[in-house]
Amino acid sequence: SSIIIANAFPPHPEPLASYRALTVYDDDKCDRIERGFLAALASGEPVTFHGFTSSSIDPSSALFFAETVGHASNKPRPILLLKS
């Protein structure tokens, strides 16, 4: 089998900032996930995403998802700043 690269990106300065909004339907589940991320960050250990996740280099895109997608409450979802 072959590997197909869908997108090619131009060279960029390191680190490159990208943003990932948590789109979780349930407020309590979102709070648990946020606490888990904060604890992982405080530990100094790498944070791992299990499964598929997407991010954007446009912070307004993440803000849109954090405020409007994946939930019905008025509570905005956390946005993760990723540097790679």
**pLDDT at residue number 4:** 52
- The contacts of residue 73 (CB under 8 Å, 6+ apart) are 27
Question: CA–CA separation, 29 vs 23, rounded Å?
Answer: 11
**pLDDT at residue number 27:** 84
pLDDT (tens digit per residue) in 30-81: 888 888 888 888 898 777 766 666 788 888 888 887 776 656 677 777 888 8
pLDDT at residue 2 above 60? no
Which of the pair, 57 or 12, is modelled with greater confidence? Answer: 57
66, 21 contact by CB (below 8 A): yes
**pLDDT at residue number 53:** 66
Supply the pTM of this predicted model: 0.63
